[in-house]
Structure 1
Amino acid sequence: MPVDYETIQKIQKLGDDVLIGVSEVAALTGFSVLTVRQRKLPGLEPVPGLSRLRWRLGDLRAWMRTGNTESLHRPSMPNASSSSKRTGRPTKKTQVEARQ
């Protein structure tokens, strides 16, 4: 995805109370327009009560500074050493050994 440097430079000059749209948020964050439109940015909500999706530039800047990912729920990967029994389909090697 190409970076829109021209849009980024225009936005940098604006104040914190300015409302920006989906394409501007996508240009600043590096996420795709579709991701922003689907509101999949954890911790960053659009301004409520508007007919279009708009974000306050100050909120976006604060969100980017903090690196807010508190809404993401990533499951922790279990250690291979902690569980000796594997789940799922057995390997071909295990299946052949079981037949002999």
Structure 2
Amino acid sequence: MSVDYETIQKIQKLGDDVLIGVVEVAALTGFSILTVRQRKLPGLEPIPGLSRLRWRLGDLREWMRCGPQSKAAIDTAATVNDPSRPVGRPTKKSQVEGRK
């Protein structure tokens, strides 16, 4: 995949409230156009209600700085680190002791 430096330079000069399309998002993120078009970027959703896929440039810049932070990823991380939750399948010993 070739990098479109001209598009990247043009976009860098724009403000955060500018809406950009699939090609621009693909150029900035390095993902393919098909990946962006299929909305497979977790935590980065297009502007709803428009006839074409458009993203706010400020949202994309924030997403690139912080990484994909979706609510599902945050919830999953919280449950994985919960020490009160039993981890894995119970041992045979604990199953036998539980029957007594």
Q: TM-score, normalised by structure 1?
A: 0.70
Aligned residues: 76
User: Structure 1 residue 13: deviation in Å?
Assistant: 0.1
Task: Give the structure with the higher percent helix.
Answer: 2
Cα distance in 2 for partners of 1:4, 1:69 equals 27
User: Structure 1 residue 67: deviation in Å?
Assistant: 1.3
Matching residue of 2:46: 46
Cα distance in 1 for partners of 2:65, 2:27 equals 16
For residues 51-62 of structure 1, the aligned pairs below 5 Å read 51-62=51-62
For residues 43-82 of structure 1, the aligned pairs below 5 Å read 43-70=43-70, 71=72
Q: TM-score, normalised by structure 2?
A: 0.70
Identity of aligned residues (%): 84
**Consecutive unaligned residues in structure 2, runs of 5 or more:** 77-100
**Consecutive unaligned residues in structure 1, runs of 5 or more:** 74-100
CA RMSD of aligned residues (A): 2.0
User: Structure 1 residue 30: deviation in Å?
Assistant: 0.0
For residues 1-100 of structure 1, the aligned pairs below 5 Å read 1-70=1-70, 71=72
Cα distance in 2 for partners of 1:6, 1:68 equals 26
Cα distance in 1 for partners of 2:40, 2:61 equals 17
User: Structure 1 residue 49: deviation in Å?
Assistant: 0.4
